[in-house]
A = this chain, B = another copy of it.
Amino acid sequence: MSDEKPQYNIENAKSQMRKGFLEFPVLLIIGAKPTYAPDILKQLKNANLLVVEGTLYPLLSRLKSSGLVEYEWQESKSGPPRKMYTMTEQGKEILQQLEASWKSLDDSVNTLIKHYEKSN
């Protein structure tokens, strides 16, 4: 009989660490400058927040239907038209709140890290 103990998967953990999180960085990116999906993917990749199409497109749809962003079709010189996303006023307000939430979370975790390190 094998041990049956499920092995811990650090890659999965890294992915999970981002779960439900992406909305905030995506709003930051769109808020900084109107963009379209493949460019957002590149910016996330540059920021070490690796995300795939199957994650981003539904997320953009949710942001759109919540009224936080909107888009306009824009022609491209090198392919099919693009959905250029921009922030709405409501999006900007929500982004402020998300930023406050992030800072609170950031403080909390960094405090716990300090406690942990002090104890070792």
- Which residues of chain A have a CB within 8 Å of any CB of chain B? 5-8, 10, 13-21, 23-25, 28-29, 31-33, 47-49, 65-68, 90, 94-95, 97-99, 101-102, 104-113, 115-116, 118-120
A48 / chain B contacts, CB cutoff of 8 Å: 104-105, 107-108
Copies in the complex: 2
A-B contact list, 5 entries, CB within 8 Å: A5-B65, A17-B101, A28-B113, A32-B120, A48-B108
A67 / chain B contacts, CB cutoff of 8 Å: 5, 8
Given A6-B65, A67-B8: A13 in contact with B108 (beta carbons within 8 A): no
Contact B113–A17 (Cβ < 8 Å): no
C-alpha gap A42/B86 in the complex (Å): 41
C-alpha gap A24/B4 in the complex (Å): 24
C-alpha gap A1/B15 in the complex (Å): 41
Given A102-B109, A108-B49: A115 in contact with B28 (beta carbons within 8 A): yes
Contact A10–B66 (Cβ < 8 Å): no
